[in-house]
């Protein structure tokens, strides 16, 4: 898909495992080996206990919508044909929250608290985005 | 009260018109604003020896403005930031003056916010160039989550659900600020609106409509701060700085979306410092500027700064409470929703004018502090305006504030 016009993530050393897992259609987040806190976004130190030993674990991909907004006006040319589209915060069953798009239903059908599940969108040969759809 | 309460004063204010477009450089506009602020205070370039500004990679800098105006600086600093910067730089100025780094300091903002760099990065002539979703942005940009209406729309949606408010709560803010703009010859949007007008305006990013969103303008504005001893000899009635907060933050400010309540905003963490330093309570405040990038940001900060309880804004804003001649007039210039967009500094300037009793309205003798209080004749001056709270907003997790005191009215 050389004509993919939307912005693409630029992984950092800390976040690269997240994006590599997404490419394998797995949702992975970090867990502190010392205090067991689940962590997102990817980072180098546990924000709870400052331990540097963070391990990547596969999570269920299940969660619920914490909040969302329905973009009715395109503010980026790559999304000009998408409006209206849903931008959301999903709270994973494991606790941390991710930002995402909700697909697979009409924007008007999205509700706070709605159960959702991760889905994987291979937008380019190198990059897969983790979106969510109604569970 | 704080050690420095009432020790430093705002003595000069000035701005360019709000333009769309300006067809000018940010340097040209900044020079006009600073020159007007000096004239307003009765100061000469040789009297100014400190200068700070804030910007988002979209402005000129202190060294250019000082050069153009023949000012030699003992202190200068240009910081990065939008809303929440003005009050933070006021706090910063108080510290600098107290420390003896300079004697009289200018704070300015200059931006082609409509014709140049727009918030969210949209270019004036159309589509933005491909944007790198790097750093934090790697978890934002690719969702088409690129502008403030979408960022704050997310918090607004959850707030409505948790508080039981409806978008009519937001409408009350839009109506009040627009009414004030109708009394402000400088404002861009001056035709009064109704709750129904708000409810009929088109969606931008649900639950925010067009009339929930601020304007985008090309403008520069400046304020001048010095010690109260110097202030007594200048042209205007002094406005004392009683206290403030400077970019107070909620936990996890760079990833607000993980906080237990994303709409429990930074003002909740700053309000006791603000009122404690000023030595007053919310009931002592006559007027407020409550940052209105969106109607939502005003709404949520009424709660955060303790003017009403958590979740109570929906009742608090009813009956025109935020309008002039009511209990807590908000954004008397019309604010960013209706006057124009300056990332906060114009709201502080309006409070200064109100506290001097010199709102620049349709009253023929406003410059002498003589007003008719006839709203139908275009008088914008609040009768009793002794204490103003300036409530700045950067993001849900970042806020600055200042309480100012006048001696007239």
Residue B132 lies in a domain: no
Q: Which residues of A40-76 are buried (b: 16+ CB within 10 A; e: fewer)?
A: bbbeeebeeeeeeebeeeebebbbbbbbbbbbbbbbb
Distance separating alpha carbons of residues B99 and B193, to the nearest angstrom: 48
What residues of chain A lie within 8 A of the CB of B145, using their CB?
71, 87, 99
Q: Span B379-408, mean pLDDT?
A: 97
- Cα distance from B128 to chain A (closest Cα, Å)? 6
Q: Where are the beta strands (DSSP E) in B2-137?
A: 8-15, 50-55, 75-80, 104-112
- Domain map (residue ranges) of chain A: 16-134
| Binding-site residues on chain A for chain B (CB distance < 8 A) | 5-12, 15, 40-41, 47, 66-80, 82, 84-85, 87-89, 96-101, 112, 129
pLDDT at B123 over 80: no
Q: Span A124-133, mean pLDDT?
A: 96
pLDDT at B402 over 90: yes
pLDDT confidence band for B127 (50 / 70 / 90):
very low
pLDDT confidence band for B138 (50 / 70 / 90):
confident
pLDDT of residue B134: 62
pLDDT of residue B352: 98
Residue B320 lies in a domain: yes
Among A47, A112, A129, beta carbon nearest to B142? A129
Q: A68-77, B169-178, B344-353, B374-383: which has the minimum mean pLDDT? A: A68-77
Residue in B closest to A10 by C-alpha: B134
pLDDT at B316 over 80: yes
Indicate which of A11, A43, A67 best probes the interface with B, i.e. most B CBs within 10 Å of its own CB: A67
Q: A9-18, B123-132, B232-241, B242-251: which has the minimum mean pLDDT? A: B123-132
- Cα distance from A77 to chain B (closest Cα, Å)? 5
What distances in angstroms separate CA A66 from CA A26, B138, B181, one per listed residue? 22, 20, 36
pLDDT confidence band for B135 (50 / 70 / 90):
low
Q: Span B76-101, mean pLDDT?
A: 97
Residue B229 lies in a domain: yes
Among A72, A78, A96, beta carbon nearest to B206? A72
pLDDT-above-90 percentage for chain B: 88
The domain tally of chain B equals 1
pLDDT confidence band for B118 (50 / 70 / 90):
confident
Reduce the DSSP state of residue B213 to 3 states and report it: strand
At B294, which CATH number? 3.40.47.10
What residues of chain A lie within 8 A of the CB of B153, using their CB?
69
What is the DSSP track for chain A? -TT--S--B---TTTHHHHHHHHTT--EEEEETTT--EE-S--SS-TTT--S-EEEEE---EEEEEEEEEE-S-SSGGGTTT-SEEEEEEEETTS-EEEEEE-SS-GGG--TT-EEEEEEEE-SSS-EEEEEEE-
pLDDT of residue B255: 85
The phi, psi pair for B336, rounded to 5°, reads -75, -20
Among B134, B144, B258, beta carbon nearest to A10? B134
pLDDT at B15 over 50: yes
Q: A67-81, B67-81, B155-169, B278-292: which has the minimum mean pLDDT? A: A67-81
Indicate which of A17, A37, A40, A72 best probes the interface with B, i.e. most B CBs within 10 Å of its own CB: A72
C-beta of residue B87 within 8 angstroms of C-beta of residue B344: yes
Among A10, A79, A99, beta carbon nearest to B132? A10
Look at B131 and B65; give whichever has higher pLDDT. Answer: B65
Q: Span A109-123, mean pLDDT?
A: 98
Residue B67 lies in a domain: yes
The phi, psi pair for B306, rounded to 5°, reads 80, 20
pLDDT of residue B283: 98
CATH fold of A16-134 reads OB fold (Dihydrolipoamide Acetyltransferase, E2P) (2.40.50)
Q: Span B74-81, mean pLDDT?
A: 97
Residue B386 lies in a domain: yes
C-beta atoms of B139 and A70 within 8 A: no
Q: Is B373 a catalytic residue?
A: no
pLDDT of residue A77: 80
Distance separating alpha carbons of residues A98 and A87, to the nearest angstrom: 11
Q: Which helix (H) or strand (E) holds B313?
A: helix B313-316
pLDDT of residue B125: 46
User: What is the C-alpha radius of gyration for chain B, rounded to an integer number of angstroms?
Assistant: 20
pLDDT-above-70 percentage for chain B: 96
Q: Compute the mean pLDDT over every residue in chain B, rounded to the nearest whole number.
A: 95
Reduce the DSSP state of residue B221 to 3 states and report it: strand
What residues of chain A lie within 8 A of the CB of B158, using their CB?
66-67, 112
Residues 6+ apart with CB under 8 A from B182: B190, B191, B192, B334
The dihedral through the CA atoms of B286, B18, B223, B378 has a sign that is: negative
Point out the catalytic residue in the list B179, B264, B291, B305.
Answer: B291
The size of chain A, in residues, is 135
- Cα distance from A3 to chain B (closest Cα, Å)? 12
C-beta atoms of A69 and B154 within 8 A: yes
C-beta atoms of A9 and B131 within 8 A: no
Q: Compute the mean pLDDT over every residue in chain A, rounded to the nearest whole number.
A: 94
The dihedral through the CA atoms of B164, B170, B172, B176 has a sign that is: positive
pLDDT of residue B49: 98
Residue B131 lies in a domain: no
Q: Is B305 a catalytic residue?
A: no
Q: Span B362-387, mean pLDDT?
A: 97
pLDDT of residue B141: 83
Closest to A60 measured CA to CA, from A90, A93, A101 = A93
Domain that holds residue B94: 2-116+215-405
Q: What predicted TM-score, i.e. pTM, was given to this entire model?
A: 0.96
Place of tokens 């897992």: A21
Note whether ipTM > 0.85 here. yes
Residue in A closest to B209 by C-alpha: A72
A51-76 tens-digit pLDDT: 999 999 999 999 999 999 999 988 88
Q: Span B260-269, mean pLDDT?
A: 97
Q: How many CB pairs under 8 A join A and B?
A: 117
């Amino acid at each position: 898909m050389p004509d993919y016009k939307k912005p693409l993530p630029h992984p950092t050393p800390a976040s690269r495992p997240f994006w590599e897992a997404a490419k394998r259609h797995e949702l992975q987040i970090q867990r502190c080996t010392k205090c067991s806190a689940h962590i997102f976004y990817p980072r180098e130190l546990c924000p709870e206990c400052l331990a540097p030993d963070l391990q990547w674990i596969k999570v269920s991909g299940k969660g619920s919508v914490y909040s969302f907004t329905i973009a009715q006006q395109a503010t980026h040319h790559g999304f000009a044909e998408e409006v209206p589209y849903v931008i959301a915060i999903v709270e994973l069953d494991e606790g941390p929250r991710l930002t995402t798009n909700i697909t697979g239903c009409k924007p008007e059908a999205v509700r706070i608290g709605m159960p959702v599940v991760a889905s994987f969108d291979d937008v380019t040969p190198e990059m897969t985005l983790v979106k969510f759809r109604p569970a | 009260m704080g050690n420095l309460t009432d020790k430093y004063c705002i003595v000069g204010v000035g701005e360019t018109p709000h333009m769309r477009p300006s067809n000018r450089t940010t340097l040209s506009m900044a020079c006009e604003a600073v020159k007007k602020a000096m004239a307003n205070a009765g100061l000469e370039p040789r009297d100014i020896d400190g200068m700070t500004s804030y910007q988002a990679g979209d402005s000129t800098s202190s060294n250019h403005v000082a050069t153009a105006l023949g000012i030699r600086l003992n202190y200068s600093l240009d910081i990065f930031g939008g809303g929440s910067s003005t009050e933070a730089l006021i706090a910063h100025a108080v510290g600098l003056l107290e420390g003896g780094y300079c004697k009289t300091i200018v704070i300015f903002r200059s931006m082609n916010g409509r014709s140049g760099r727009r918030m969210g990065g949209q270019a004036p002539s159309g589509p933005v160039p491909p944007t790198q979703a790097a750093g934090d942005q790697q978890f934002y940009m690719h969702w088409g989550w690129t502008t403030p209406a979408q960022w704050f729309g997310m918090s607004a949606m959850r707030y409505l659900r948790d508080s039981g408010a409806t978008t009519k709560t937001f409408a009350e803010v839009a109506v009040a600020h627009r009414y004030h703009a109708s009394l402000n010859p400088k404002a861009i949007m001056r035709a009064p609106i109704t709750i129904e007008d708000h409810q009929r305006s088109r969606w931008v990013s649900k639950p925010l409509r067009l009339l929930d969103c601020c304007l985008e303008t090309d403008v520069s504005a400046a304020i001048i701060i010095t010690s109260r001893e110097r202030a007594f000899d200048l042209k205007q009635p002094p406005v004392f700085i009683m206290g403030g907060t400077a970019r107070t933050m909620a936990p996890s400010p760079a990833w607000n979306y993980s906080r237990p309540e994303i709409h429990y905003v930074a003002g909740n963490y700053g309000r006791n410092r603000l009122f404690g330093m000023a030595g007053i309570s919310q009931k002592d405040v006559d007027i407020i500027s409550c940052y209105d990038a969106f109607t939502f940001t005003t709404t949520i900060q009424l709660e955060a700064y303790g003017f009403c309880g958590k979740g109570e804004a929906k009742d608090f804003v009813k009956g025109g409470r935020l309008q002039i001649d009511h209990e807590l007039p908000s954004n008397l210039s019309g604010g960013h929703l209706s006057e124009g967009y300056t990332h906060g500094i114009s709201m502080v300037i309006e409070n200064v004018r109100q506290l001097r009793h010199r709102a620049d309205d349709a009253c023929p003798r406003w410059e002498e502090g003589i007003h008719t209080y006839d709203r139908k004749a275009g008088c914008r001056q609040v009768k009793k305006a002794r204490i103003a709270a300036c409530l700045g907003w950067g993001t849900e997790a970042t806020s600055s504030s200042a309480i100012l005191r006048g001696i007239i009215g």
